[in-house]
Structure 1
Amino acid sequence: MRKSLIAALLALLASGCMVGPDYLRPQVETPPAWRLSDEAANDLANTAWWQQFDDPVLDDLVSTALRENHDLMIATARIEQFAGNYGFVRAGLFPQVDAGYEARRQRDISAVVIGAGNGITYNSYNAVLNASWEIDIWGRIRRQTEAARAQLLASEEGRRGVILSLVGSVAGAYINLRDLDRQLQIARATAKIRGESYDIFKDRYMGGVISMLELSQNKSQYDEALASIPPIEKAIAQQENGLSVLLGRNPGPIPRGKSIDQLRLPAIPAGLPS
C-alpha cells in the first residue's frame, strides 16, 4: 500500500513538472471546394502581378521599393534575428561538445643547482574534451523550440505582408499618378479651347455681334477652366512625394511610363475567391 502511494505521488509530481501540452491546431470548417481551382489561384498569387500592366517604369519602381524600403529591411532583419534564435534554442536538444587545446613552455627554477645552470626548461601540452547533453524530460527545450519556430514563421509571414502591402501601395500610387497626369492633360486642353473661344467672343463683342453678358459668361467658363489646373498640379506633387517615400528616397519627381490609357489591365480569373 505504501509503495503504491509513493508511486502515485511520484507520477503526480512528474506530471506537474511538464512544461505545457503539445499544441493541437484547432479544427476549422472549410468548404469542400472553391469555385476556382487551387492551381489557378496559386498561379495568380505567385505571379509578379504588377508586371501584367506591361509598364517597364512601374517594374523599376517596384524593384526599387523592394530594395530600398526601410520597413522591408526591418522585417528582413527581424527574420534573420528569429532564425538565429531558433537555431540556438533548437541546438539544446542535441549533445554539446566542447574541445580545447593548450601548449606551454615553462622553466622550473626550483631545481637549480649552484653552478649547474638556470633551471630546467620543459614543454607541456594539455587537451580538453567536454561533452554534455541535457535530457529534455519535462519538455522545456521542446517548448522553447516551438515558441522560437512560431516567432520565426510569424516574422516570415510579417515580411510577406510587408512585401504585399508595399508592392500594392507602389502600384496603386503609380496608377493614381498616371490618372492625375491624364486629368491634368484634359484640364489644360479644356483651358486652351476655352481660351480660344474667349478670343473669338471678344472679337464678336467688339464687332457688336454679342452682348457684354454673353462675353462675361464665356470669360467665366475660361477662368473656371484655368482654376481647375493648380489643384491637379498640387495633387500630382503630393502623389510623387508619397511615392518617393515608398521608394525610400527624398521627395521628388517620379519617372513616367505608359499613359493610363495604354496600361494593360491584368486578367483576373472568373470566380476568384476574395
Structure 2
Amino acid sequence: MKTVLITGGSGMIGSRLSKLLLDKGYKVIWLSRERFVKAQIPRYRWDYRKGEIDSDALEQADIIIHLAGSNLGEGAWTRKKKQKIVESRVLTSRLIIDTLIKLNKKPEIFISASAIGYYGMHTDEKVYNEDDFPAKNDFLSRTCKKWEAAAFNFTKELNIRTVVLRTSFVIHKNSHTFNKLKLPVRFGIGSPFGSGKQIFSWIHLEDLCNLYIKSIEDTSMEGVYNAVSPEHISNAEFMRCLAKEMKRPFFFPKIPSFMLRLFMGEASGMILEGSRISSRKIIDKGFIFKFNTASEAIKESF
C-alpha cells in the first residue's frame, strides 16, 4: 500500500481526491496547519513562512501531490496578496525539496497543480498546447512560470518524475466560485461577462481528480498537461447553458468590463479574457473524460 502525501488536502480538490485514493487502496496523509495524526486522514504540521515541516510526513511519502496555494480568485491582487500567491506556491515546494534532501528521501513522483493562466490573460483564436509560449507576460502567467519551475526542481535536484497539471475552472456543486456564478442566474439576472466572446475553459472535479490518479499510475506521464475539458465554449455560451440547466431566463445585458475591473482590478482578467486550450496531449495518453460538455458537467453539479 503506497502512501500519498497531499498539501492543501482539506480543499475541494484535495478532499475529493483523498476519498478516491482511499477507495483505491492508497494510504493518504496531509500536510496541514495543525498536527492531528489520529484523524481519519492523518495530518502533519508545516509552516512554510517559518521553514517548519514535520519530517514524519515526508518519510512516509511514496507520492507527493502539491495543491497548496493562496486562492487566486479571493480578493483583489494587492501587492501583499500577489506576494502571498507566489510564495505559497514556490516557497512550499522549496521547503519540501530541502527537507527531502536532508532526509535522503526520494519519492516516486511529485505532482503539482498549476493553472491555464500560464498562457496569459488573453483572448484570441489560437488553440494553445503545452509547448506554446504565453501570449502575455502578465502577473498570472509569471506566477505560473515560477510555480512550475519550482515543481521541476524535483526532477533537476532529485531526479523524481514530475507532472504538472495546468488546471482550468473547476466545476462542482461544492465549488465556492461556481456557486457564485450560479447565484445571479438563480435570480434571473445571469449574463455574460464583458464581451462574452472570451473562451471559458473548464474541467469537472471528477475528471480532474481522475487525472491526478492517472498521473500517479501511468509512469509514462511526465511534464506538463492541460487539465481542461475538450469543449471550447465562450463565456456567453457557458452562462446561457447554466441558465438553461437551471431553468432560468437569460436576457439580462452583459456585465460591462469596466465594472469588473473596478471591483476586481487586475484579477478581472481571469474572467474577461480566455483563449482555447488544448486537451489533446492528455487524450493521447488514453485519458477518457467523463464530462465532455458544460451541459453534462452542470447537470451533475446541482
Structure 2 length-normalised TM: 0.18
Higher helix content, 1 or 2? 1
Structure 1 length-normalised TM: 0.20
Higher strand content, 1 or 2? 2
Higher relative contact order (CA 8 A, sep 6+): 1
